[in-house]
Amino acid sequence: MIIKDVKASCYYVPVQIPLMKEPKYIEAVILRIETDNGLVGYSISDVFSTTVKELIDHEVAPLIKGMNPLETEKVWDLLYKKLNIRVLTGVWSSATSLVDVALWDIKGKHFGEPVARLLGGASDKAEAYVTFGFPDYDRDTLVEVAKSMVAKGHDKLKMVVARNNASDVKEDAERVRAVREAIGDDADLMIDANYLFSLNQAVQLCKLVEPYNIYWFEEPVYGNDFRLLKDLRRHTNIPIAAGQQLGNQWQHRELIVNHAVDISQPNVCFVGGYSEALKVANLARAYNLPIGNGGTWPFHNMHLHAAVANGTRVEFHFLIWGLCKTLFKNTPEPENGWIKIPERPGIGIDPNEDAMKEYAVK
């Protein structure tokens, strides 16, 4: 069996968010890899969509056509040696992630097993949380959406802080307080700053929200600087999570070995695919750390978290959750804080050809 065809395509998809009048539009790139015996693997990302497409079509495809799709380590290593030394940006890791995820989809279909089982099969399910708390919401709307999620059985929620370019820490704290009071003490609440705080701002917010039992504080400081994260951990009892956008195991190593995080966050769609994410997960386990999913793409990351003993929770972000449900079929739904891994081979979701035609970027 060999790789016969490699094709990346871009899409522009409207996603409706609860209680927002207008949909948000998301760019995405989908990779389709076909073998000579008719197996097809798919993967998706939303980073550098048009640039990643060009890199795959013109540089990656000629390199990997004719290779055995089951030899995922060989393909990964080839892309690293041939391209990463010349393209030292997130474009390389995004393209490599697309290739590796699609190849694991093929591998699962070849062996008739879900990817989670081939990666290790530690469980047949993963914890699931919903990212609901957009900065666009005013405080009352934020509370209304949070209460509606809990009413639907979602007991693990995440909200964004550092609104308005991190200009009002006290307002962030008030929004966290309002949500905690609305959802009660039984639901888990996480917060995410998307790298926007200085160390002093992050420390200030932690002190203000520590009484509200925050499950984790995700990517709180500029650039995921491991020195700042390590300092922050010394100033708060809130667990620190980071790493979702890091593009290889060596960047994650800096967070882990320097004791900068309580939860490591490799994302298979950014870190270099399942092959690289598995290495990060194992490194984290060697340091007795769990992994958590930040950066979305639940239907792909759920396989990693079910596969390893230190896997925990998977992010169902309204935007990417909706995007995937539009462009793919057979997407499973989280129930009561868990997502069950489908028994279907590979990743377990299929392209929605009609939607892909409708939202394709011409």
How do residues 192-207 score in pLDDT, each as one tens digit? Answer: 999 999 999 999 999 9
pLDDT for position 74:
97
Residues 6 or more apart in contact with residue 120 via CB below 8 angstroms: 278, 307, 308, 309
Mean pLDDT, range 255-268, rounded to an integer: 97
Taking only the tens place, the pLDDT of each residue in 280-297 is 999 999 999 999 999 999
Higher pLDDT: 62 or 167? It is 62
Instruction: Report the alpha-carbon angle 237-240-245, nearest 5.
Output: 170
Flag whether pLDDT at 5 surpasses 80. Answer: yes
Taking only the tens place, the pLDDT of each residue in 26-79 is 999 999 999 999 999 999 998 778 899 999 999 999 999 999 999 999 999 999
pLDDT for position 205:
98
Flag whether pLDDT at 7 surpasses 60. Answer: yes
Cβ proximity of 321 and 298 under 8 Å: yes
SS3 126: strand
* pLDDT class of 164 with cuts at 50, 70, 90: confident
Flag whether pLDDT at 88 surpasses 60. Answer: no
Question: Hey, which of 5-9, 19-23, 242-246 has the most confident mean pLDDT?
Answer: 5-9
Average pLDDT, the chain: 95
What is the pTM assigned to this prediction?
0.95
pLDDT for position 47:
79
Task: Please count the other Cβ atoms lying within 10 Å of the Cβ belonging to residue 354.
Answer: 9
Site of tokens 């491991």: 226
Query: Counting runs of H as helices and runs of E as strands, what totals does the chain give?
Result: 15, 13
Site of tokens 């995440």: 158
